[in-house]
Amino acid sequence: MWRPIHAVVTSRVILLHPLAPPKPPPGAACNGCGVCCAAEPCPLGIALTRRRRGACAALRWDDAQARYRCGALADAEATLRVPRWAAPAARALAARWIAAGAGCDSDLVPQPSR
């Protein structure tokens, strides 16, 4: 006998810079595509911005590198509100907290724009 299964399927549109690189597969090195942070803030982003939904307010576009960067890493003084002398240590803690260098952990599947 068939029984109903209730599933919620959601899709959202996230806006990314047109020069942003394509999202790498999970586990591959981060290339700064911005998909994960544009979809929702990580725990550090939530702590910094007090936002739980929508794009992380700490996400920064880097024109020179044509990629997204976490503001806690790219501009620790302004994003983390620390003095210049404390920025390197704050950046190191932020990198550890967001697991920078550990590879892509986003399982989002971006769809091409129509």
For residues 91 and 68, give the distance between their C-alpha atoms in angstroms, rounded to a whole number: 16
Please compute the mean of the pLDDT values over residues 67-93 and round it to a whole number.
93
Band of residue 5 on the pLDDT scale cut at 50, 70, 90: very low
For residues 47 and 27, give the distance between their C-alpha atoms in angstroms, rounded to a whole number: 25
Residue 6: is its pLDDT beyond 50? Answer: no
Domain ranges of the chain: 35-97
Q: Where are the beta strands (DSSP E) in 63-114?
A: 67-70
For residues 28 and 35, give the distance between their C-alpha atoms in angstroms, rounded to a whole number: 14
Enumerate helices (H) and strands (E) in the chain, giving the number of each.
5, 2
Average pLDDT taken over every residue of the chain? 86
pLDDT tens sequence across 13-30: 888 999 999 999 989 999
pLDDT tens sequence across 55-76: 999 999 999 999 999 999 999 9
Which of these, 104, 76, 78, 106, lies nearest to 92 by C-alpha position? 76
